[in-house]
Amino acid sequence: EVQLVQSGAEVKKPGESLKISCKGSGYSFTSYWIGWVRQMPGKGLEWMGIIYPGDSDTRYSPSFQGQVTISADKSISTAYLQWSSLKASDTAMYYCARLDGRIDYWGQGTLVTVSS
Amino acid sequence: DIQMTQSPSSLSASVGDRVTITCQASQDISNYLNWYQQKPGKAPKLLIYDASNLETGVPSRFSGSGSGTDFTFTISSLQPEDIATYYCQQYDNLPPLYTFGQGTKLEIK
């Protein structure tokens, strides 16, 4: 069974760093792109970027370039999304997803709350 | 970048009604268009892929059509459990690029 399991909810202060994770199982992790999607409270889905764990080829949506870093460790089938300095506007639910043209599997989401 | 214009942004309909949502791409995307359903507090769920293909296990009252720049998503007979927000999403494979529509919030009248 294909699964993407994300790390738990986080509460952080502005300026702090954060790295959240997405662990894949039940399929060849290195053979599919993984994407990250942001959903701010009460808002729609926003595409952040994607990574191909097989060779770590990474692409960012223009809106998120320079704001986050996407990485992966294929030895443990895990993708990451990280911030070096969080802002209150980073408060959102973040989803990872497996890409096969369509998005056929999603993680359960990681809620990130940034508040002083 | 390709822009996706989804309409309407919200929709109220009665149980049993036929519901239609449209999505327009800013340029030709062939049939690289998917539709998702998102219920509150849940991750999105794939319903339709490549414009008109029903994902396994999805009820047949859901359907999609279109190609090029204009796409339509239809629920043939609205059920109470269909209350959700629906998103279109386009993709390119080379390089892989993805864009979501703005979403349509569907409510029961």
pLDDT in tens, chain A (116 residues): 999 999 999 999 999 999 999 999 999 999 999 999 999 999 999 999 999 999 999 999 989 999 999 999 999 999 999 999 999 999 999 999 999 889 999 999 999 999 99
Residue B1 scores a pLDDT above 90: no
Residue B94 scores a pLDDT above 80: no
Residues in chain A: 116
Residue B54 scores a pLDDT above 80: yes
Residue B66 C-alpha, separation from nearest chain A C-alpha, in angstroms: 16
Buried b (16+ CB within 10 A) or exposed e, B56-77: eebeeebbbebeebebbbbbee
What's residue B2's pLDDT? 87
Dist. CA A42–CA B37, nearest whole Å? 15
| Chosen from B98, B102, B106 to mutate, greatest number of chain A CBs within 10 A | B98
Dist. CA B49–CA B72, nearest whole Å? 12
Interface contact flag, A102 B97, Cβ < 8 Å: no
**H/E element, B54:** strand B53-54
More confident position, A54 or B96: A54
Distances (CA, A) of A107 to B43, B86, B90: 7, 18, 20
Residue A47 C-alpha, separation from nearest chain B C-alpha, in angstroms: 6
User: What average pLDDT score do residues B58-84 get?
Assistant: 97
- For B43, the closest of A62, A99, A106 (CB atoms) is A106
